[in-house]
Amino acid sequence: MTDFDLLGIGNALVDVVVQADDAFLAEHRLDKGGMMLVGPDRSDFLYSKMGPATESSGGSCGNTMAGFASLGGRGAYIGKVRDDDFGKVFRHDLDAIGVTFATPPASDGPGTGRCLVLVTPDAQRTMCTTLGAATSLTTADIDEALVRASSVIYMEGYLFDPPEAKAAFVHAAEVAHAADRKVSITLSDSFCVDRHRAAFAHLVDNHIDILFANEDEIVSLYEAAGFDEAVQAVRGRCEFACLTRSAEGSVIVAGDDVIEVPAAPVDAVVDTTGAGDLYAAGFLYGYTQGKSLAESGEIGGIAAAEVIAHYGARPAVSLRDLLPAG
């Protein structure tokens, strides 16, 4: 038995979530529904123009780990923060939800990264991210003992930008596979896929067991004409691929099998921030507890449905309490 069910490796960011309207996005030339990388000055300017916000530890992988812990999973996290106030907030938040975070903070260089999440009334989220210290993650930050002590490694595509981070991903995957552990990744955003398509495809083919992607991301990765073509393209490239389709649920591609999982019911979609992150949390919780792929997909759907029913990318209630008996 391992010490941890899941080890997340990602961009350690503080999420700043605020309600905004289309006029604000247009005034500040923000691409609605997308993720943009911005410099510290631009981030400070937008922050000064925003309304009241909620601030908490975040980042895509951080959200997944929060969901995983809420389900009752044993989680650990690797990511880089600075020894500043935001870095302390991030560390405290993970500690508070029971996720082990022992990566040493940077003592110089950029401050802890943050992501401004602007949520419009139609529940679309537009993200402006300053990566800051998160980009300084290197192979030296990969705790090999922690990797070997975790059943599954989960890596965040948003981090897959600096060459040092790519090397860290591959190193973590190699250590994990040498210890007979599973390696998973989320493609995170079609923006990321467009920038690193060949590198992502090589990583999936050679180092990944479990792939997470939404419809746009998987279509982009294989430059497919549509979703059905993308499903055929990903078949056999990894052990299985979990492909989310918003209101249409998810599709799990495992060898010759294509498992369709309907979306969990939700009264009203308030904020789609974190939907994919929480789906991954639910799926990986089910998987590490020995559930079938279909059952794991259903748990992923339950977790995603909870988080889109309110503002913010973290569960508002105990996800474990939402699971069906047995």
One DSSP character per residue, 64-104 reads: HHHHHHHTT--EEEE---BSSHHHHHHHHHHHHTT-EE-PP
Q: Is pLDDT above 80 for 293?
A: yes
Residue 295, CA distances (Å) to 150, 238, 252, 302, 326 in order: 22, 20, 11, 11, 11
Render pLDDT for 36-74 as a digit per residue (tens, 0 to 9): 889 988 998 998 999 998 888 888 999 999 999 999 999
As a dihedral over the C-alpha atoms of residue 264, residue 268, residue 273, residue 275, rounded to 10 degrees, the angle is: 0
Domains of the chain, each with CATH number or no CATH: 4-12+58-110+132-315 (3.40.1190.20)
- The pLDDT tens digits for 205-217 are 999 999 999 999 9
239 CB contacts (<8 Å, ≥6 apart)? 182, 209, 210, 254
**314/198 Cα distance (integer angstroms):** 32
Q: In what order do the strands lie in the sheet with 100-101?
A: 100-101, 75-78, 4-9, 150-156, 182-186, 210-214, 240-244, 250-254, 257-261
pLDDT digits (tens, 9 = 90+) for 10-38: 999 998 889 999 999 999 999 998 888 89
Q: Where would I find the H helices in 179-214?
A: 190-195, 197-207
Q: Which residue has the higher pLDDT, 24 or 190?
A: 24
pTM: 0.90
Report the pLDDT value the prediction gives residue 255, as an integer from 0 to 100. Answer: 93
pLDDT band at 314, cuts 50/70/90?
Answer: confident
pLDDT class of 326 with cuts at 50, 70, 90: low
Q: 293-307 and 275-288 are packed helices; what angle lies between their axes, rounded to 10 degrees?
A: 150
Q: What share of the chain is helix, strand, coil (3-state, %, to 5)?
A: 40, 25, 35
Residues 6+ apart with CB under 8 A from 261: 249, 250, 251, 252, 294, 297, 298, 300, 301
Tell me: the pLDDT tens digits for 102-117? 899 999 999 899 999 9
pLDDT value at 320 more than 90: yes
Residues 250-269 have a mean pLDDT of 95
**pLDDT bucket at 241, cuts 50 / 70 / 90:** very high
**Angstrom distances, CA of residue 171 to CA of 137, 178, 183, 322:** 12, 11, 11, 36
Residue of 98 and 35 predicted with greater confidence: 98
pLDDT band, very low/low/confident/very high, at 85 (cuts 50, 70, 90): confident
